[in-house]
Structure 1
Amino acid sequence: MGPLPRTVELFYDVLSPYSWLGFEILCRYKNIWNVDLQLRPTSIAGVMKNSGNKPPALLPLKAKYMTNDIKLLGQHFQVPIQMPKDFFSVILEKGSLSAMRFLTAVNLEHPEMLEKVSRELWMRVWSRDEDITEPQSILAAAEKAGMSTEGARALLEKISTSQMKNQLKETTEAACRYGVSHF
């Protein structure tokens, strides 16, 4: 009998390419590493606000480094990641709030689908340069991940409820209590 699995909580936002890389590595090796992986959809905007940090893309040297780093890490870990063509619009203007509330709803009501739906949202924004903010985009991601249209629509209707807003806020606050300042 081997050791009991260790619990690893991954706080993430689909706007973060580094979160995607960490997500894929943890999902890929969780059984080998004997890890009980707990996916925790989080608001990167909330983390940045709490920590006073600026997104790396707003700092010229970090932005330059990040562009090359993401490309190399994607190749190394075989994750099909590339920068969106209109990076600032996608990342800084549109954001991911609706997508992260949707993932919060998935986590609460269909946790078995969270990994697949999260991956599909990352694929949309970081691989295929597609939208993740419009309701039809979120539905398309959920359906491509294997959710039924009816099930996805039911969850989408819940993203503006106080329950989903509060749950995402609580998870983000938990990440901040751990000392997360960016991801």
Structure 2
Amino acid sequence: MGPLPRTLELFYDVLSPYSWLCFEVLCRYQKIWNVKLQLQPTLIAGIMKDSGSLSAMRFLTAVNMETPEMLEKVSRELWMRVWSRDEDISEPQSILAAAEKAGLSAEQAQGLLGMISTAEVKKRLMEVTEVACKYGAFGLPVTVAHVDGQTHMLFGSDRMELLAYLLGEKWMGPVPPALNARL
């Protein structure tokens, strides 16, 4: 019998550069460590009471609800806009540009953007934020590891060595050799 299934939940907000670091590392390691990574867009303002990414996080919540297979790409593109290219992520046109660059059609992106003011999306984002708070979140990123029937909450992007230990895996740095060879 193989190892018990292991799930990692990453609670993040694209306004957090530390969330971005954690996001990229966990996306790289999910196959190497054979874990199921569940991306959880979370409103940092709900935790820290001040942000500016409400529209972007609602948009990511809509993406997660309607086209979860695109969540990684759209999240990454929003981070690239705000933290790599110093571009806006709060205006509708900026969000649409990021979504289209990530691979969503203009029609899909517009439909998802139309969802950000719905009660369903607002409720889902609030629920996910509340879940993060129940785990003990006081900022983002928060990674929650479900291993051997136990739950472990880790705060910050600098806890990868500890996460590897919890998973019984080897930490090989932010760019593991298998990925490094492809770059």
Please give the range of the TM-score, normalised by the shorter of the 2 chains. Answer: 0.7 to 0.9
Deviates more, 1:141-150 or 1:1-10: 1-10
Give the counterpart letter for 2:30 in structure 1: K
1:177 is aligned with what amino acid?
A: K
SS at match of 1:38: strand
Give the whole-Å Cα distance in 2 for the aligned partners of 1:19 and 1:161: 26
Identify, as 1 or 2, the structure richer in helix: 1
Distance in 2, matches of 1:141 and 1:96, equals: 14
Tell me the residue number matched to 2:161: none
Query: CA shift at 1:3, angstroms?
Result: 2.1
Candidates 152, 155, 160, aligned match of 2:112:
155
Quote the Cα distance in structure 1 between the aligned partners of 2:139 and 2:42: 11
More strand by share: 2
Residue 98 of structure 1 is matched in structure 2 by: 55
Superposed, 1:11-160 pairs within 5 Å as 11-49=11-49, 95-160=52-117
SS at match of 2:10: strand
Per the alignment, in what secondary structure is the counterpart of residue 27 of structure 2?
helix
Give the corresponding residue for 2:174: none
Amino acid at match of 1:178: Y
> Which residue in 2 is equivalent to 1:64?
none
Secondary structure at the aligned position of 1:19 is classed as: helix
Taking the aligned partners of 1:5 and 1:146, their CA distance within structure 2 comes to 30
**Can you list the C-alpha shifts for 1:67-108, whole angstroms capped at 9, x where unaligned?**
xxxxxxxxxxxxxxxxxxxxxxxxx5xx10000000000000
Q: Distance in 1 between matches of 2:28 and 2:132?
A: 23
Kindly indicate whether residue 3 of structure 2 is the aligned counterpart of residue 3 of structure 1. yes
Deviation at 1:4, TM superposition (A): 3.9
Tell me the matched-pair count: 140
What 5-or-longer segments of structure 1 have no aligned partner?
50-54, 56-91
What TM-score results when the alignment is normalised by the length of structure 2?
Answer: 0.74
Kindly report the root-mean-square deviation, in angstroms, between the aligned alpha carbons of the 2 structures: 1.2
- How many Å apart are 1:2 and its aligned residue? 4.0
Amino acid across the alignment from 2:37: L
The answer for unaligned runs of 5 or more in structure 2 is 141-183
